[in-house]
A and B are shown apart, each in its own frame.
Chain A
Amino acid sequence: MSDLVADTALDAATPPRVETPFQRFRAEFFESKIATIALAIFLIIVLLAVLAPWITPQNPYDLAQVSVMDGRLPPGSEAFDGYTMWLGSDGSGRDLYSAILYGLRISLTVGLASGVIALLIGMAIGLVAAYAGGRIEAIIMRIVDLQLSFPASLVALMMVAALGKGVDKIILALVIAQWAYYARTVRATALVERSKEYVEAAQCLGISRFRIVFRHILPNCMAPLIVVGTVQTASAISLEATLSFLGVGLPQTEPSIGVLIANGFEYMLSGRYWISVFPGLALLLTVVSINLVGDHLRDVLNPRLKK
């Protein structure tokens, strides 16, 4: 009898299993096969790039390991040092598989770094605009509108024309080309959030403005920011590749995927397709997989699409 009572008491004490928002999000995200596969591909690409020094047959930028004898070998050829070049080699005898993995390190670093910096700057400016209102907001949004009336690729091109080559300069150019997208998103979301009751409640409790903005409003703006962040990061990677391909992005000493494709371009017309095509495929897989993940995130995180 007493056991029975204890049991029911225990049942009442353990609350019914409630999904946390994160668990619900995770379940919904993995419902889509395409997005799951895309995420897996992206993670594999990141992993390959990070592990590059340990899983490639040569360090393509260590001159002692590269032999000019190996130049322009088609895919599957055997290198001078005995290993097989599954993807062939480029004009100076680098194994393309190794060069692509090393190139991905640079491309991903530039893309992610510029994405994160642009996100932080855009977020701060957007929050200030939404919370300050009035004249400050009007000025900030004018600048944002103005910048968004130019295509991001053109802004980035202008910036590299002004700044010159190099990793730091490309990141700066991409940040300048992209911050406005984040600022606009954050401001629009923050304006909606600001008029909600929980903000009013927080104000009534006498919580400081700073705390309300960063602890209460900002977390609720994260969903659309993450979506914009994934799409913009993909476009940053693709923009960097474009600029490097044009010869105004990264220098030969920082061979990103775009530089590799540019190097192979001259051999393409003579039928040596692999020098450009394989780095191109790597770029394609990276950009498309991020875009597919972002596309699905938009569906999962958008409350309006839910029943």
Chain B
Amino acid sequence: MTVFIIRRLIQALLVVFMMSVIVFFGVNIVGDPVYMLVSPDADQADIAAAISRLGLDRPIWEQYLLFLKGAAQGDLGNSFIFGEPALKLILHHMPATMELAFSALILAIVVGIPLGLYAGLYPDSRISKGIMAASIFGFSLPTFWVGLMLIMLFAVELRWVPATGRGDLGTFLGIQSSLFTLDGLSHIFLPALNLALLKISLAIRLTRAGVREAMGLDYVKYARAKGLSTRRIIFVHVMKNIMIPVVTVMGLEFGSLIGFSVVTETIFAWPGMGKLLIDAILQLDRPVVVAYLMIIVLFFVLINLVVDILYSILDPRVRLQDQGA
């Protein structure tokens, strides 16, 4: 077991290192950020000074080594635009993104599981067919287009909620979040719904498949034979067995929610990491782009590592297969 974890850890480190090479060299070869930063009437000397201030006059491999050295000490370079450490900027924007992704996850579970339960219990009813058709749309509609429609319907036509931005922050148990104020909740509703749609479809499909499978199993028949009420069978016996895989998969989707939030944040002008990334790409703010991508890579590698280790504890066959390969 320890050998397995060490092997996976080394692999994870290797992946992060490889990605750092790809990301760093990729990002630093495109465009010339200097001309976006100095004023148009700057002379040759000003430009040369800016280049050396940003460290862009050194060979790229030397820049990379400096970056690695800094990264090992938790320094991912300074933003060209803001002059602040890139890591600090990203950490500053992280709570807004986490809040959005978390709300979307809760929304997906609260909306998706009951709908999936209904569709699984009455697979032939009209409503169930409607739910399943809607979930196909949830999978195939582009997120940004759904976001536009949500803004148009709820913010422009009906004027129920504001279209963009983050609302007032409230503090509860020492955590600052817009989830604790009414204004904040009205601001987060649309972006969270937009981000959640794909995951709602996923939750519906997972729950439905689980319910349909479980309803034919012996323990349900036995519970029926004992004379338990349908309500008790479904909510105590069936749900208990289905919730574990569904919640596990939904939890794993948290990483992809953070990835997808780039689109949602841009549409709804939500001040999170995703919006920061898009702005940084457009302004050629390379250190911020590199730092964001490295943090996302790290995030995904960590999630995968935890999942691998958990699975290998739950299912020893995974471990053995890995040693065989």
Complex interface bits, A248-276 against B, C-beta within 8 A gives 1, otherwise 0: 10000000000001000100110101001
Instruction: Kindly report which residue of chain A lies nearest to residue B151, judged by CB atoms.
Output: A268
- Per the bound structure, the CA–CA distance linking A158 and B259 in Å amounts to 11
- The interface-forming segment of A19-27, A86-94, A109-117, A279-287 is A279-287
Q: CB-CB < 8 A to A162: which residues of B?
A: 22-23, 26-27, 29-30
CA of A234 to CA of B26 in the docked complex: distance in angstroms? 27
Chain A 135-177 per-residue mask, 1 if CB under 8 angstroms from chain B, else 0: 0001000000010011101100111111110000000000000
Q: For the complex, is B15 an interface residue (Cβ under 8 Å from A)?
A: yes
A291 touches B140 (CB 8 A): yes
Considering the complex, which residues of chain B in the window 118-158 have a beta carbon less than 8 Å from any beta carbon of chain A? 136-137, 139-145, 148-149, 151-152, 155-156
Q: Please state if B260 and A163 are interface contacts (CB–CB under 8 Å).
A: no
| A266: min CB distance to chain B, Å | 12
A284-B141 contact in complex given A149-B304, A153-B260, C-beta closer than 8 Å? yes
User: Does B194 sit at the interface, judged by CB under 8 A?
Assistant: no
A248 nearest in chain B by CB position: B281
**Interchain CB contact under 8 A, B281 and A238:** no
Residue of B nearest to A146 (CB): B15
CA distance A288 to B266 in the complex (A): 24
In the complex, the answer to whether A246 meets B30 with C-beta atoms within 8 Å is no
Whole-angstrom distance from the CB of B38 to the nearest CB of chain A?
Answer: 20
A75: chain B residues at CB < 8 Å are none
In the complex, whether A242 has a CB less than 8 A from a CB of chain B is: yes
Say if the beta carbon of A35 comes within 8 Å of chain B: no
Q: Interface size of B by Cβ–Cβ distance < 8 Å?
A: 41
Contacts of A288 in B (CB 8 A): 137, 140-141
Nearest-neighbor residue (CB-CB) of B280 within chain A: A161
Give the Cβ gap from A248 to chain B, nearest Cβ, in Å: 5
- Interface of chain B residues 135 through 192 with chain A (CB within 8 A): 136-137, 139-145, 148-149, 151-152, 155-156, 163
Contact of A247 with B by CB under 8 A: yes
B325 within 8 Å of A (CB atoms): yes
Are B145 and A283 interface neighbours, CB within 8 A?
yes
* A268–B148 touching, CB < 8 Å: yes
Looking at chain A's contact residues, is the secondary structure mostly helix, strand, loop, or mixed?
helix
A97 at interface by CB-CB < 8 Å: no
CA distance A242 to B30 in the complex (A): 21
B296: Cβ under 8 A from any A Cβ: yes
| Closest B residue to A150 using CB positions | B300
For B263, list chain A residues within 8 Å (CB).
153, 242, 245-246
Contact between A242 and B142, CB atoms less than 8 A apart: yes
User: In the complex where A158-B23, A241-B142, A261-B145 touch, is A246 in contact with B152 (Cβ < 8 A)?
Assistant: no
- B-chain residues with CB within 8 Å of residue A199 when the two chains form the complex: none
CB distance from B303 to the nearest CB of A (A): 8
* A153 surroundings in chain B (CB, below 8 A): 259-260, 263
A164 touches B30 (CB 8 A): yes
A277 at the interface (CB under 8 A from B): yes
In this assembly, does B31 line the interface, its C-beta being within 8 Å of a C-beta of chain A?
yes
Asked if A284 and B145 make an inter-chain contact with CB atoms under 8 angstroms apart, the answer reads yes
The reply to whether A247 and B282 contact each other, CB–CB distance below 8 Å, is yes
Q: Give every chain B residue within 8 A of A164 (Cβ-Cβ).
A: 30-31
Q: Which of B144, B148, B266 has its CB near the most chain A CB atoms (within 10 A)?
A: B144
User: Are A277 and B152 in contact, with the CB atoms below 8 A?
Assistant: yes
Within the assembled complex, what's the spacing in Å between the Cα atoms of A138 and B324? 11
Query: In the bound complex, do residue B148 and residue A163 qualify as a contact, i.e. CB atoms below 8 Å apart?
Result: no
Q: Mark B95-110, 1 if CB is under 8 A from A, else 0.
A: 0000000000000000
In the assembled complex, the CB of B54 is this many whole angstroms from the nearest CB of chain A, namely 18
Q: Give complex CA distance A150, B256 in Å.
A: 8
B293 beta carbon closer than 8 Å to chain A: yes
Compute how far the CA of A193 lies from the CA of B163 in the bound complex, rounded to whole angstroms.
Answer: 54
Are A247 and B278 interface neighbours, CB within 8 A?
Answer: yes
Q: Does any Cβ of A come within 8 Å of B206's Cβ?
A: no
**Set of chain A residues within 8 Å of B281, measured between Cβ atoms:** 160-161, 248
Q: Are A269 and B262 in contact (CB under 8 A)?
A: no
- Measured between beta carbons, the chain B residues less than 8 angstroms from A154 are 256, 259-260, 262, 296
Query: Are B141 and A276 closer than 8 Å at their CB atoms?
Result: no
Contact B142 A287 (CB under 8 A): yes
Residue numbers of B with Cβ under 8 A of A are 15, 22-23, 26-27, 29-31, 136-137, 139-145, 148-149, 151-152, 155-156, 163, 256, 259-260, 262-263, 266-267, 277-278, 281-282, 289, 293, 296, 300, 304, 325
> 10 A-B pairs, CB-CB below 8 angstroms?
A150-B259, A154-B296, A158-B293, A161-B277, A162-B26, A248-B281, A248-B282, A268-B151, A268-B152, A277-B152
Assuming A161-B289, A277-B148, A288-B137, what are 6 further A-B pairs, CB within 8 angstroms? Answer: A149-B300, A153-B260, A163-B30, A246-B144, A268-B152, A288-B141
Interchain residue pairs A-B with the least CB separation, the first 3: A162-B26, A154-B259, A164-B30
